[in-house]
Amino acid sequence: MASYDFDLFVLGAGSGGVRAARVAASFGARVAVAEERYLGGTCVNVGCIPKKLLVYASEVGGDCADAAGFGWSIGTREFDWTTLIANKDREITRLNGIYRRLLEGSGVKIIEQRATVVDPHTVAIGSARYSTGHILIATGSWPTVPELPGAEHAITSNEAFHLERLPERVIVVGGGYIGVEFAGIFHGLGASVTQLYHKKLFLRGFDDDARRAVADEMLRHGVDLRFETDVTRIDKIDGGIRATLTDGSKLEAEKIMYATGRHPHTRELGLERAGVALAEDGSVIVDEYSRSSVANIYAIGDCTNRIMLTPVAIAEGRAFAETVFNNHPMKIDYEGVPSCVFSQPPLGAAGLTETQARERYGAIDVYRSSFRPLKHTLSGRDERAMMKLVVDSASGRVLGCHMVGPEAGEIIQGFAVAIKCGATKAQFDATIAIHPTAAEEFVTMREKS
């Protein structure tokens, strides 16, 4: 590899690309990373981190309303969007700097320009050409907006983080986790929100009971949910937009945000020219070691045909570096990957849904609990939590763990370890509960549904 300018050239400085670059460099590889937008990728800049900060902000109003039940008197409340966004931007800038220092400290060359693949061993940056032993594609994904009249008037999550002011009325189109989360964010900050989804129930891929629980709570909070409804056209009007719906009715709002999925960000990278096979959606087709159809070109993260989650991309980045530069073949186990929707209340999940478990195992046992969280017995908030275990009848192994309620992500993370280790329902039952907590429900549920 000494005849090349670099041993590894990474396209994309998101979480996965940065992890791969740093680990490879720690094994002695000469590494370069090209990034045309912002260090840290989607997660740090227009994804997980700023989204969670906005979720926190949107929950404060509810916390203030809860306070009276605990004897607190809180005066006039005012929310300032510009202050929130400025503070968010300051934190993102800090994180950008951390990513820069991590790469530089590892000896990785950072090139803040767009890179394209010329051939299996050559990368172009403008008029410059760099030779490399290996190429790693880690360019992430991009929001998808369907083609319809007036689509140019819509925003996506990319723009939502940088609005000059909070819109009073918002239409959110889409039923994935991004749409559900932003519907909660806008509503919690004081906007009037209508969320549209073209099928019967949103959050496809999650457990049906959990999906219904989130929908029930959002409706209870005042979000206008409209299922089996879509937009046929968008027109610009004074002060905002007018959306024409599939039933012929019209909705007016200041903003319409599309959260209808994300597509691999691989267009015009020169991959096809280099012989890299792509799926119909543009994702790089890779094997279990992240290798593409070209022997020395690899791909990780959202631009591949696997799971679009930041921790998955990070794990893939490390596995790639171990495999290629440390002679330690490593592949990722995608079974039981936990996830969380930061809806209000949040949904956490690890393992199989009830439907998936029935398809794979046939006979299963289901344990389900729905209750009012202790906090709300005094706050007066009309909100319920839901917890569910899916168990293999034959072995007693817990196949799935699902929760809708406060701190669902924090709680499910711990139970995800138990599921990964193959814990049984009997072992759950033998675990002494921490009382009083919501999490204790998972080790005290005895009645099958």
Rg (CA), the chain: 24
- Residue matched to tokens 């949910």: 225
User: C-alpha distances in angstroms, 309 versus 58, 236, 262, 302, 389?
Assistant: 23, 35, 12, 7, 23
* Rounded Cα distance, 20 and 138, in Å: 9
User: Would you say 316 and 301 are in contact if contact means Cβ atoms under 8 Å apart?
Assistant: yes
| 40 CB neighbour count, 10 Å cutoff | 24
* Rounded Cα distance, 400 and 143, in Å: 30
* Rounded Cα distance, 287 and 291, in Å: 5
User: Would you say 108 and 21 are in contact if contact means Cβ atoms under 8 Å apart?
Assistant: yes
List alpha helices for 222-333, DSSP H: 310-325
User: Residues with catalytic annotation?
Assistant: 435
* Rounded Cα distance, 219 and 59, in Å: 16
- Distance from first CA to last CA of the chain, Å, rounded? 60
Element (H, E) at 344: none
Q: Is the dihedral of CA 321, 327, 333, 334 positive or negative?
A: positive
Per the rule left: phi > 0, alpha: psi between -120 and 50, beta: everything else, 405 is left
3-state class (DSSP) for residue 364: strand
* Rounded Cα distance, 147 and 166, in Å: 26
Determine the angle formed by the axes of helices 354-361 and 208-221, rounding to 10 degrees. 170
User: C-alpha distances in angstroms, 98 versus 3, 15, 210, 389?
Assistant: 32, 12, 37, 39
The neighbouring-strand residues paired with 253 are 241
